[in-house]
Chain A
Amino acid sequence: MEEFYLYFPAKIRYLHLATSLCRELCAKVPRKRKVKDFVEDIELCISEACTNAIKYGSGRDSGAAISVRFHLYPDHVIIRVGDQGEGFDLNNIPVPDLEKHTERGYGLYIIRAKMDAVRYVRARDGNYLEMTRYFDSPLNKRSS
Chain B
Amino acid sequence: MEITRKRAGRACVVTPQVKKIDANVAVEFRKQLMELIADGENRLVLNLGEVDFIDSSGLGALVAVLKNIGPEGRIKLFAVKDGVRSIFELTRLDRVFDIHISEKGAVESMK
Q: A-side interface residues toward B, CB under 8 Å?
A: 12-13, 15-16, 19, 36, 40, 43-44, 47-48, 51, 54-55, 96, 98-99, 101-107, 109-110, 113, 142
Contacts and interface: CB of A to CB of B under 8 A. Distances in A.
Contact of A40 (B66, B67, B83): B83
A115 to B, nearest CB: 13
A109 B59 CA distance: 13
B1 interface: no
Interface in B1-30: 20, 22-24
A110 B87 contact: yes
B98 interface: no
B96 interface: yes
Given A44-B55, A48-B56, A104-B60, A13 B92 contact: no
A13 B96 CA distance: 30
Contact of B91 (A12, A13, A110): A110
A52 to B, nearest CB: 9
Given A40-B83, A51-B23, A101 B55 contact: no
B99 to A, nearest CB: 14
A68 to B, nearest CB: 15
Interface string B50-64: 000101110110011
Contact of B64 (A12, A16, A103): A103
B36 interface: no
Contact of B56 (A12, A107, A142): A107
Cβ-closest 5 pairs across A and B: A106-B56, A98-B92, A103-B60, A51-B23, A107-B56
